[in-house]
A and B are shown apart, each in its own frame.
Chain A
Amino acid sequence: MLVHRVQCTHYHHQLDFHARVVAHVLHVSLTTIYHCCSMRMIHHNKQLEVIMALQLHPTLLNLQMLIFIVRFELEIFKIHHHVLQPLRAIKLPVLEDHHRILDLTDTNVQIPCFQFISPYVYAASRTINCTVSHIFRFAFMDSHTVESRFYLFSVLSRTILIISDSFSSRIFAMHGLKRTFLIRTVCRGKASTAADLPQSSQDLEQTNQEDTPVKTANASTVYRPPYYRKPHKHHEPKHMLQEEFTNAGDASGAGVRLFDYFKTAEMVNSMPTIKEKIDLVSPYERPWTRAEKTWRRDWHPTLMATRKAWGIPPTPAHFDTLDYYKYLTKTRVENKLLDDFYQGLRPPTADLQNSFQNTMKSMNFGDGLNFSDEDTQKLFGSLIDDAMGGIAHNVSRLSDHRVAYDVESEAFWIRSGFMFLYDELDISTKKDTRRLNNFPKYIGDDRRKLGELAFVHRDKLAAQVRSKEPSAPLFSLDSEDAKLPVFDADNNIQETLFSPKVYNLWPDQEPLWQCPGYHADSGETHTYGVLSVKSLRPLRKRISHWMGWENENELDDCEEAKQMLDDGARSQAVISMFSTLCAQAHTHGFTQYTDITRPFTSQMILSDGLNFYFAVGQLNTLAINVECDGFVNPRTNFIQIEGPHRLFDHYDPKEGDYQSVREDLDVENKVQVIIFYFSCVMSHLFLQRRAASGLNEKVLERVTQMLMKQ
Chain B
Amino acid sequence: MTTRLARLWQPGNPQRRVFLPDFWLAVVESPDVGRNKLPRNCVKFEVDPRMSRHDIREYLTKIYDLPVRDVRTEVQMGDITWNSKHDHQYKKAMWKDDDKKFAYVFMSKGFTFSYPKMFDSLEEDLELIKAKQQQEDLKDKLNEGYANRNRRVGRFLAV
Q: Which residues does A use to contact B, with CB under 8 Å?
A: 318-320, 420-425, 432, 442, 495, 498-499, 502, 504, 546-548, 560, 563
Contact = CB atoms under 8 A, between A and B. Distances in A.
B102 interface: no
A432 B37 CA distance: 13
Interface in B89-113: 106, 108-109
B36 A499 contact: yes
Nearest to A435: B34
A563 B42 CA distance: 19
Given A498-B38, A504-B72, A546-B70, A425 B32 contact: yes
Interface in B16-39: 31-39
B69 interface: yes
B36 A319 contact: no
A310 to B, nearest CB: 13
Q: What does DSSP make chain A's interface, helix, strand, loop or mixed?
A: mixed
A432 B31 CA distance: 11
A442 B61 contact: no
B39 to A, nearest CB: 6
B68 interface: yes
A319 B70 contact: yes
A424 B34 contact: yes
Given A319-B69, A546-B70, A423 B33 contact: yes
Nearest to B42: A502
A432 B34 CA distance: 9
Contacts of A504: 72
A424 B69 contact: no
The size class of the interface chain B forms with chain A is 20 to 34
B85 to A, nearest CB: 15
A563 B39 CA distance: 19
A425 B69 CA distance: 29
Q: What does DSSP make chain B's interface, helix, strand, loop or mixed?
A: loop
A421 B35 CA distance: 4
A504 B74 CA distance: 13
A424 B33 contact: yes
Contacts of B108: 560
Contacts of B70: 318-319, 546
Interface in B36-65: 36-42, 57, 61
Contact of B35 (A432, A442, A546): A442
7 contacts: A318-B70, A320-B41, A420-B37, A421-B34, A422-B34, A495-B39, A547-B69
Contacts of B40: 495
B57 A548 contact: yes
B88 to A, nearest CB: 8
Given A442-B35, A560-B108, 7 more contacts: A318-B70, A320-B109, A420-B33, A424-B33, A425-B31, A499-B35, A548-B57
Contact of B33 (A318, A425, A546, A560): A425
A432 B32 CA distance: 9
Contacts of A421: 34-35
A498 B33 contact: no
A548 B58 CA distance: 9
A397 to B, nearest CB: 44
A432 B57 contact: no
Given A425-B32, A546-B69, A502 B109 contact: no
B38 A502 contact: yes
Contacts of B34: 420-425
Contacts of A547: 69
Nearest to B88: A298
B146 to A, nearest CB: 28
Nearest to A496: B39
Contacts of B41: 320
B31 to A, nearest CB: 6
A502 B72 CA distance: 10
B152 to A, nearest CB: 41
